[in-house]
Amino acid sequence: MKILLVGAGGVGDAIAKIAARRDFFELIVVSDYDQSRAEKTIAWIEAKHGPQNGRFVAAKIDASDPDNVAAVAKEHGATHVMNAVEPKFVPTIFAGALAAGADYLDMAMSLSEPNPTNPHTETGIKLGDDQFEQAPDWEKAGRLALVGMGVEPGLSDVFARYAADHLFSEIDELGTRDGANLVVRDEAGNEIFAPSFSIWTTIEECLNPPVIWEKDRGWYTTAPFSEPEVFQFPEGIGPVECVNVEHEEVLLMPRWVDAKRVTFKYGLGDEFIGILKTLNQLGLDKTEPVRVRSANGPVMVAPRDVVAAGLPDPATLGPRMTGKTCAGLWVTGLGTDGKPREVYLYHVSDNEWTMAEYESQCVVWQTALNPVVALELLSKGVWKGSGVLGPEAFDAKPFLDLMALAEADGGYGQSWGMEDRLAK
């Protein structure tokens, strides 16, 4: 397996660092528009693990140009293209991978567009629609596009498959529930606003109309931040208020898992919601460039890019961050014995540990773990297929077993949890 890793930001950097401990691949090409970032990642790996004998090489890439993506992939004989950049680049990397005759993985799918007349009740273009429309091309080429294979989407989708196959005879709701108790402080020790993930992606997810799926209704939308609920998270995180957010799980799970309802709720907090609403009111969430005066004359700038430029890079927050983040799936229905059952399947990532082991903050590290596990399963033929498929299309048990197995025994040493909760 030869992997072209597109993007050496926080998640891409963590993917390379996690993969460095594994031996399932022949080559990883760490590529970025700024090649020095890719070189920095490789230098860290070699300082930590010693010479890699050519297993990692750096390259410059333009993720916005499908021809360039294809050219870099072909130059290095890539069998797999791993997309680790902003979702706005999905169409070009997706096309470049297919043109290069390579398989493809991403952690976020092609972007949505709200319904122009009824955005808070009806869907428009949904997340991933563009990719699923191209499934026949991938099937004809005999190539696989594994989409939504991060942590969320990704791990919760694996949990959905596992719950359907091993825990439930009938599922009422698949509800992704994510929360954290992370705190970021400045140099003086004061708590500050600093999103732990890309603000570009966060704005996209949180201000778009959330999507819900119901078996008798299909996909429909609600208003942003709707249906707040307090969810109890494990391992000391505790109760966190979660709200509806647009996310890929709701678009993926119903395609492969039989359930009556699918939702995604995220613990944002009042301050974060207030800031996002203000950005929306001021038009600072927009991606279309606006004309701005500067000392050198007028320039065209996307307001959302300005917001991103004014905030700390999430990849740099680790040393100033404390706490844990939890990704998981709440499932209700009838157990295999036909009795009511309610479980929460989850994985917790501790920032202190990820920083000590990888110098990666916990949110980006947790996101990066899952595509590496998936790549290893693909390399061994445990997972295989063609077309455009989500994680739910594959057997979940090999994934969860490899993830939880101790490193000394050939696994990743990342145990996942399951809490049986009283059915309501």
| Residue-wise pLDDT tens digits, 157-199 | 999 999 999 999 999 999 999 999 988 888 877 877 777 667 7
What would the pLDDT profile of 3-58 be if each residue is shown by its tens digit? 999 999 999 999 999 999 999 999 999 999 999 999 999 999 999 999 999 999 99
Asked whether the predicted pLDDT for residue 423 surpasses 70, the reply is: no
CATH number of 2-150+366-409: 3.40.50.720
Answer for the pair 373, 414: CB distance below 8 angstroms, yes or no: no
pLDDT average, residue stretch 146-165: 97
**Would you state the pLDDT for residue 44?**
98
**Would you state the pLDDT for residue 197?**
67
Phi and psi based region of residue 297 (left: phi greater than 0; alpha: psi -120 to 50; beta: remaining) = left
Asked whether the predicted pLDDT for residue 264 surpasses 70, the reply is: yes
Asked whether the predicted pLDDT for residue 315 surpasses 90, the reply is: no
Least confident among 47-56, 57-66, 70-79, 194-203: 194-203
**Side-chain half-sphere CA neighbours of 219 within 13 A:** 23
What would the pLDDT profile of 352-410 be if each residue is shown by its tens digit? 999 999 999 999 999 999 999 999 999 999 999 999 999 999 999 999 999 999 999 99
pTM: 0.92
- One of 3.40.50.10490, 3.30.360.10, 2.40.110.10, 3.40.50.2000 is the CATH number of 155-362+417-421, namely 3.30.360.10
**Would you state the pLDDT for residue 201?**
75
For residues 366 and 360, give the distance between their C-alpha atoms in angstroms, rounded to a whole number.
9
**Would you state the pLDDT for residue 95?**
98
Answer for the pair 243, 228: CB distance below 8 angstroms, yes or no: yes
pLDDT band, very low/low/confident/very high, at 64 (cuts 50, 70, 90): very high
Considering 225-229, 274-278, 336-340, the range whose residues carry the highest mean pLDDT is 336-340
For residues 244 and 267, give the distance between their C-alpha atoms in angstroms, rounded to a whole number.
9
**Domain boundaries in the chain?**
2-150+366-409, 155-362+417-421
Residue 46, SS3 per DSSP: helix
**Would you state the pLDDT for residue 296?**
83
For residues 80 and 145, give the distance between their C-alpha atoms in angstroms, rounded to a whole number.
9
**Would you state the pLDDT for residue 58?**
98
Give strand pairing partners of 329: 176, 345
Considering 62-76, 177-191, 255-269, 274-288, the range whose residues carry the highest mean pLDDT is 62-76
Amino acid residing at 114:
P
Which is more confidently placed, 271 or 147? 147
Distances (CA, A) of 88 to 83, 91, 112, 391: 11, 7, 10, 21
